[in-house]
Amino acid sequence: MKVFINPGHGTNDPGACGFGLKEAKVAAKIGAILERKLNAAGIETKNLQTDEFGSIPVIANEWGADLFVSIHCNAANAVARGTEVLVYRFNSQGATLGEKVQESIVARLGTVDRGLKERPGLYVLRTTDMPSILIETAFIDEARDNALLASRQEDFADAISVGILAYAGINALSDIASTRKIAPNGEPYDQNDIDYLLGEGYTLANALSFLDTTDKYSNSDMKAAAEYAESRVGSTGYGNNGCTEWVRRFLLKANHPFGQLMTDGSQGNLMWVPNIMSYAKEHGLWKEAEEGGALGDICLLETNYCKADGPDHVVVACGDGNYWGNSSSRNKIVKSSIAGDYGADNVYGYVATGSGAGKAVSGKCSRTAAEIVGDAGSTSCVNLAPNGMVYEENDIQYLVGEGYTVDDAIIELSKSPKYNSAPARIAPNGKPYEQNDIDYLVKKCGYTLDAAISELSMADKYIK
């Protein structure tokens, strides 16, 4: 098989730009890595980036390419993000190739899935003789996508190669999995480990993500992190809603890759508790509560008595049923019993960031409702008011201090204008969208109202 690789734009045309990155350079880097990976799998390639745009399809046709792959970065309004693949026609071999590549990129990078787009007017798709695709890897002018384009070019190339090989019917897993990525400790993955997880139903991306957390492949040092946590017990914490900041610092001290993901935002906002659970489940890192928390696992908890809405607090498991965590009410780092402070029934589960065996906790909480809510802070969309807003923890705690129970405080707050005004569209961070932001996308950019809300929901302003 012969694959023609065309990184978009060229020396005199940088393409789209954002945050110091140029589309042409990013595409060239991904294209070079893709060429190496396909060659390792026995695929013949030609890689051409040129300012002579019109010559590209001619050269691909004359070379006798079996597939044509053009690599680009998208740009729009600094809000849109995600991956899409452009094809000449739906219901074609090019579309089949595009679907494989699109699925692979989304699974590997966790980008927003914008799907296939039919573009019969595009020159490179219209004038090539073979199945052809144009990949818009991510949006270079959107901060989170830009971070992916800057730091994970090899992963983009890897995902594209897996999609191409899947289209060609080549077993990409056996041919290139052992060389497609090096584990955090600098060693290649053992194919037997990958095959075992694939047999258990993992995708390749999820299998590798899970292996990253194991003692065999991780370069993390949970002993050093545990010593750090012990030294911090009783010291000043990170304030209201500081639970994820404590977990992030613990994992960075352990040199664990999940801590870096929380820091760089490359996989979305993992400082938001529900997103941590979603990411863990999507990437093979989730452990049910009955499996127990090992030393260094992230324990996800319910503290606001609205379990159907998802977890709202995180602590670090000690491996023996205890935890290290940030106490909002005391503004201290504390060590205590998971069951004694929160109750075993309020443990959602664990993210497998730790090492060793875990102990499942049992028992009832011995603390009052006010202590639990005050200790954790509000980190999730729970206890929604009549207008759809989230009750602010400071408001709840003020009334608790006046002698209200938590439940009575919420009832009282629901009657106030702040929480009982006209329904508002609420962003993931629990705050209403600003009307001027909605108006800009609707009136200036041609978005529908629903599409504008969807785009705004992915902006840093409304996630953080």
Residue 249 in tokens: 């610092």
Q: Please identify every residue annotated as catalytic.
A: 136
Do 326 and 243 meet the contact criterion of CB atoms below 8 Å apart? yes
Helix (H) or strand (E) run with residue 316 in it: strand 313-317
**How big is the CA angle at 172 (ends 169 and 177), to the nearest 5 degrees?**
175
Do 426 and 460 meet the contact criterion of CB atoms below 8 Å apart? no
Spatial separation of the C-alpha atoms in residues 26 and 153, rounded to whole Å: 7
Spatial separation of the C-alpha atoms in residues 141 and 135, rounded to whole Å: 16
Spatial separation of the C-alpha atoms in residues 367 and 376, rounded to whole Å: 13
Please tell me what DSSP assigns to residue 192. Answer: H
3-state secondary structure of 266: strand
How crowded is the C-beta side of 151, counted as CA atoms within 13 Å?
A: 14
Residue 171 in tokens: 């077993």
Spatial separation of the C-alpha atoms in residues 22 and 90, rounded to whole Å: 30
